[in-house]
Structure 1
């Protein structure tokens, strides 16, 4: 599960970089495109924050899986002795 969360976080981070990049280029000022640069920056910041939260969830998921695995190994060792 942790790996899936890392992939999701990387994708969100990529979209955050793209939206921030759009806000600093002339693409946002072209006719027919959403021209509000503050909207692009806000969306980039929001995606970045969400990607950080998803990364934190992935870290916690990996840590808990590792703790459960070690606890199970310890129980097996105690049973065998």
Structure 2
């Protein structure tokens, strides 16, 4: 799950960079293209913020998965120790 969130965050980050780049380039000369630099800048900032939140979610997801896995390993080791002590 964490890896998928990292991929989504990276994709959104790249799109944010593209929007930021388009806000600096004069795209308005092309027919039918949105040339409002403020709109591109705002879109880039919003995509960047969403990418940061998704990246944080991926990090937290990976941490919780690791903690759960270690807890399971510890519980299994305790069970084995109890079984061997009872013999």
Q: How far apart are 1:70 and its partner, in Å?
A: 0.2
Higher Cα Rg, which structure: 2
Matched, 1:75 2:75: yes
**For residues 1-81 of structure 1, what are the structure 2 equivalents within 5 Å?**
1-27=1-27, 29-30=28-29, 31-81=31-81
Across the two proteins, how many residue pairs are aligned to each other?
Answer: 80
Structure 2 stretches lacking a partner, 5+ long = 82-87
Structure 1 stretches lacking a partner, 5+ long = none
d(CA) in 1 for partners of 2:18, 2:35: 15
Q: TM-score, normalised by structure 1?
A: 0.96
